[in-house]
Structure 1
Amino acid sequence: MTRTTAFGETTLLEGPPDQLRAALPAVLDGTPDDRAVFTEPLACAVHCAGNVLAGSDVAIVGAGTAGVLLAVLLRLKGCQVTLVNRSPERLTALSATALLREVPKLLTSEVGTRTFGTVVVTTALLDDSTFDSAWGLLPRDGGRLVLFGGIRPDWRVPGTRVLLDGIRRGEEVRELELGGRRALVVGTHGATGADFAAAGAVLAAPLPWTAGHIEELIVNRVPLPALAALLNEAVRTGVDPIGKHVVDIGR
């Protein structure tokens, strides 16, 4: 299958009809546009949530979009969810939302000695510090570290020769023993057609604990020319914008 562009109101796709249908899951009728834009990232979170047992005590490392969507799904699975983030700004903003107001939130520096049976890393790029923090959240034995966020192909677990990106992309399960802890490392990557269907069903139904829904994460709407300035400011300051911005590409 080929396409003319990745950006635009219309895109020309070529390929066998069955492959095109499989590649383009339909959003359920009646789903508001502002909610439907979350379908793809939510489908990836659905795929990740399949690696977490229902009712688990879970720490999600990273309070970006991936972490927030995963928190919503795991709450629907009956899990006890705690969001852990390095900086306070995102946690403060999320505390004001009906979506995650009741979810416990901790700064990485405030976790102390608490441990969780499952830890999911959702950060955009795993580094030594984030890995050490996530690994330290696991119990001494029997924990599960789920790799959902980005990892450089050449990044190794500190003090070892273990490459984690291959585990993530290959969706492998490996046992790792490090620093007196032993846990399963589980990779999750992408989404299947079934994951898109499940995401669509979540978006089409009310969440049981709030009258709102995922679109509560949208904090601003910007025209296309303003997007460059928004991204440049994030690069200059090193701070990503809080919340989601919908880009109006015009007519």
Structure 2
Amino acid sequence: MCVELTPAGPRLSHAPPRRPDTSDAVLVSPSLVGICRSDLKEIGGRRPGPSQFGHELVGVVTRSSTPMLPAGSRVCLDPNVPLRRGTGFARRMWAGGEAGALVRALPPAPDGIGERRLVFAEPLACAAHCLTMTRRHRGSPDLRGVSVCVLGAGIAGVLIARLAETAGARALIVNRDTDRLDFLAARRLLPGSGGARLSSAPGGHDVVVVATSFVLPPLLERALSLVRRDGLVMLYGGTAAGDRLPGLDCDLDRVRRAEQVRSTSWRDSPVLVGGSYGTTRDDFEHALRTLSGAPDGLGVERLITEEVSLPELPATLHRLTTERSFGKVLMRP
């Protein structure tokens, strides 16, 4: 049983998963799967590129053609490694490809960590990668003492801000409305510098990360007003081919997807615009170390607001695409 993404939307299917016609393949039984905003973008037809539907998962390998991933292995999933796989919104998921690619795509999950924490491995790896690229674009080995302002109080924004704090940064989360900030405050998830409304947030930050679902022009303009002279604006949220902001000499989509950094200016003030896209093996290792070693795993389990079954998932996905929601919703097959 699985939930497939069809032209008519998510649908429950009872068809058995088919093994890919690849040199090697493993069968994974997901134990817990998170619903990502990219899943919702796919449902709405607003996410270009290869499908990653159902990728925030932790599961167990039940069949394998390679000794590099033996049956019984507990794994997460890196959806940025090219594989032929089914959706993770399933009771069983085949993944096929060259053995080395399978190993890279299915990093081992450490023992002793609960699945409700491990299911955050992939989004936390994305946050780790964003901060890795932030260091690289700034030409600095660390973030100690750096003022980091994160636009967007969703899951990505929270993880970026809290992970930046562990690296010694001073982090502030900024959001257009206060309801998400209130949600985070009630769950003790705001960073030490707290949260602020977008319209009244203080400026002068070394780094401003645009971690909203999409890098919309008004949000990017506000980010450019919040960063200090010669500071860095990081593009983390979604972009599309050809995206530009009038008055800013920068191809936004190219910078983000190619992880470039561009020296330009905004209203006669010099600024760097950099991109972050995808993850690496090092990012997953960083995320897993943080989940196992940081106090309370950065508090990620406090982000969970709901857990649904596989048969309930199509209706839940429809609701999440049509209603405003907070926190992380999980699916247990």
TM-score by length of 1: 0.89
- 1:60 maps to which of 150, 153, 169: 150
CA distance in 1, matches of 2:248, 2:227: 18
Change (3 A) 1:211 1:201: closer
Q: Aligned equivalents of 2:227 and 2:248: distance in 1? A: 18
**Secondary structure of the equivalent of 1:175?**
strand
1:18 paired to 2:87 = no
List runs of 5+ in structure 1 lacking aligned partners: none
Counterparts of 2:298 and 2:268, CA distance in 1: 44
Deviation at 1:4, TM superposition (A): 4.1
Deviation at 1:15, TM superposition (A): 2.3
Distance 1:164 1:155 in 2: 6
Alignment partner of 1:117: what SS?
Answer: strand
1:77 aligns with 2:155: no
Give the structure 1 partner of residue 236 of structure 2. Answer: 148
How many Å apart are 1:212 and its aligned residue? 6.9
CA distance in 1 between partners of 2:283 and 2:125 (Å): 5
Q: Is the 1:126–1:152 contact (alpha carbons within 8 Å) kept by the matching residues of 2?
A: no
C-alpha separation between the residues in 1 aligned to 2:249 and 2:261?
17
Number of residue pairs aligned between Structure 1 and Structure 2 = 243
Counterparts of 2:112 and 2:297 in 1: how far apart (Å)?
Answer: 17
Q: CA RMSD in A?
A: 2.0
Paired amino acid for 1:129: P
1:139-218 equivalence runs, <5 A = 139=228, 141-160=229-248, 162-207=250-295, 213-218=299-304
Report how far residue 230 of structure 1 moved. 3.6
For 1:134, which of 193, 217, 223 is the aligned residue? Answer: 223
Structure 2: distance between partners of 1:166 and 1:211: 34
Instruction: Please state if 1:219 is matched with 2:305.
Output: yes
Matched residue, 2:8: none
In 1: Cα distance, 2:267 partner to 2:177 partner? 26
Query: What CA deviation, in whole Å up to 9, does each residue of 1:16-63 have, x standing for no partner?
Result: 222211221111111110001100010011111111441201100011
Aligned letter for 1:90?
R
Measured in 2, the distance between the counterparts of 1:27 and 1:145 equals 33
Tell me which residue corresponds to 2:178: 88
The 10-residue stretch of structure 1 (77-86 or 173-182) with the greater mean CA deviation from structure 2 = 173-182
Q: CA deviation at 1:225?
A: 4.0
The superposition leaves residues 183-231 of structure 1 with CA deviations (integer Å, 9 ceiling, x where unpaired) of 1111111110011011100001132xx6972111101212334443344
Report if aligned partners of 1:61, 1:84 keep a CA contact under 8 Å in 2.
Answer: yes
CA contact (8 A) 1:63 1:91 kept: yes
Out of 23-32 and 75-84, give the one that drifted further.
Answer: 23-32
On the 8 A contact 1:4/1:11 being kept in 2, the answer is: yes
8 Å Cα contact 2:249-2:265 kept in structure 1: no
- Residue 247, structure 1, aligned to residue 322, structure 2: no
After TM superposition, the runs of 4+ consecutive aligned structure 1 residues lying more than 4 A away are none
| Structure 1 residues 122 and 181: CA distance shift in structure 2, 3 A | same
- Give, in angstroms, the shift of residue 147 of structure 1: 1.1
Contact 2:247–2:267 under 8 Å retained in 1: no
Are the equivalent residues in 2 in contact too, given 1:125–1:152 (CA < 8 A)?
Answer: no
The residue that corresponds to 1:229 in the other structure is: 315
Counterpart of 2:205 in 1: which secondary structure?
coil
Distance 2:262 2:126 in 1: 21
Give the whole-Å Cα distance in 1 for the aligned partners of 2:95 and 2:257: 26
Against the structure 1 CA distance between its residues 103 and 246, is the aligned structure 2 distance closer, same or farther, given a 3 Å change threshold? farther
Give 5+ residue unaligned stretches, structure 2. 1-82, 136-141
Q: C-alpha separation between the residues in 2 aligned to 1:62 and 1:32? A: 27
Query: Which position in structure 1 is the counterpart of 2:117?
Result: 35
Alpha-carbon distance between aligned partners in 1 of 2:297 and 2:282, rounded to the nearest angstrom: 26
Structure 1 103/94 Cα, relative in aligned 2: closer, same or farther at 3 Å? farther
Q: Distance in 2 between matches of 1:10 and 1:232?
A: 22
Q: Report the counterpart of residue 130 of structure 2 in structure 1.
A: 48
Shift of the 212–203 alpha-carbon distance from structure 1 to 2, 3 Å rule, reads closer
Aligned-residue identity in percent: 34
Tell me the distance in 1 between the aligned counterparts of 2:282 and 2:167. 17
**Cα 1:120–1:183, aligned 2, differ >3 Å: closer, same or farther?**
same
Query: What secondary structure does 2:329 align onto?
Result: strand
Whether the 8 Å CA contact 1:60–1:82 is kept in 2: the answer is yes
Whole-angstrom distance in 1 between the partners of 2:86 and 2:308: 25
